[in-house]
Structure 1
Amino acid sequence: MARRLSYSARYPYPAEQVYAAQSTPRYWDEMMAGFEMFSPKCEVVDFACDDSGLKVVLRQTIGRDQLPSLAQTVLKKDMIITREESLGIFDPDVTKGDYTASIPAGPGSLKGWQELFPTDSGCTLRKTSEVKVFVPFVASKLEQLMLVNLVDLFRAEAAYAKDWIAKNA
């Protein structure tokens, strides 16, 4: 059975400004460069922003020795995560998108939906993730572990976005 979790990043900036930041390759390149302090290799594999919206493909490598022991029992090599994120064209009411993450020979799947919308104090980017692990006996524990780590990732990305916009807008 899949598990779901929603995370909302609140920004003191208008939604259009957050969208504009994410619409630049430099935003993503600098974010991946910053993540290299945690993972040995982080890169932007592909980036596109056009009349249909934006799409970015990110790849991160996490050393097996950095993984929690439960994850090490399932994965015998370094974990290579490929994440695809998209947002449709900017809509002042709500801009919708989605994301997926995959691990070669990984024990499960991760997909999610995101919405960027205005609030009285700026805007919110809400991400709703669904995780499914296909390993008997440890599936629920791995799903919970993935969701907890995903929230940590989203928090770090939200902090990065706030800082990046403050410095570059």
Structure 2
Amino acid sequence: MARRLSYSARYEHPTEKVYSALSSREFWDDQMVEFRKLTPQSDVDKFVVDENGVDIVLVQTLPKSDLPAIASAVIKKDMIITRKEFLGPYNPEKTEGTYSAGIPAGPGNVSGVQELFPTETGCTLRRTTEVKVYVPFVNGKLEQLILVNLVDLFRGEAEFTADWIAKNS
């Protein structure tokens, strides 16, 4: 059974500033610099901004030695994560998109929807995630571990985004 989680990053910035950051190559390159402090191989593999929106692919490699014991029992070598982010064309009322993450020959998947919308104090980027692991007996534990780590990731990315906008506006 898949597990779900919804996470909302709240910004004091208007939607157009957050969307502008998320559609900036410099933003993603700077974020990869930060990721490299934890994961030495973190790169933007694809970056397209056009009339359809923002389409990004990130590739990160986590060394097997850095994986939690339960994950390293399932993943037999370094874990290569391919993350896809998509946001549709900017809409001041609500910009919708999707995201996913996968591991080649991995035991499950992460996918979700995201929406950027205005609030009284700025805006919110809400991500609703579904995690599914196909390993009997440990699937629930792995799904929960992934969700906990996603909350930490989303929180860190929200802080980075807010700081980046403040420095680059």
What TM-score comes out, normalization by structure 1 length?
Answer: 0.99
Q: Which runs of 4+ in 1 moved over 3 A?
A: none
Structure 1: tracts of 5 or more residues without a match? none
Give, in whole Å, the separation in 2 of the partners of 1:52 and 1:28: 19
1:115-126 correspondence runs (5 A): 115-126=115-126
Amino acid aligned to 1:52? N
Question: What's the offset of the Cα at 1:33?
Answer: 1.1
Instruction: Please state whether the residue corresponding to 1:104 is helix, strand or coil.
Output: coil
Question: What's the offset of the Cα at 1:40?
Answer: 1.7
1:33 corresponds to 2:8: no
Instruction: Please state whether the residue corresponding to 1:97 is helix, strand or coil.
Output: strand
Give, in whole Å, the separation in 1 of the partners of 2:52 and 2:37: 33
Question: What's the offset of the Cα at 1:152?
Answer: 0.6
Question: What's the offset of the Cα at 1:12?
Answer: 0.3
Give, in whole Å, the separation in 1 of the partners of 2:67 and 2:156: 18
Amino acid aligned to 2:91? D
Identity %: 59
Aligned length: 169
In the alignment, is the contact (CA less than 8 A) between 1:40 and 1:63 conserved in 2?
no
Instruction: Please state whether the residue corresponding to 2:98 is helix, strand or coil.
Output: strand
1:67-82 correspondence runs (5 A): 67-82=67-82
Question: What's the offset of the Cα at 1:162?
Answer: 0.4
Structure 2: tracts of 5 or more residues without a match? none
What TM-score comes out, normalization by structure 2 length?
Answer: 0.99
Match of residue 163 from structure 2: 163
Question: What's the offset of the Cα at 1:42?
Answer: 0.2
* RMSD, aligned CA: 0.5
1:14 corresponds to 2:28: no
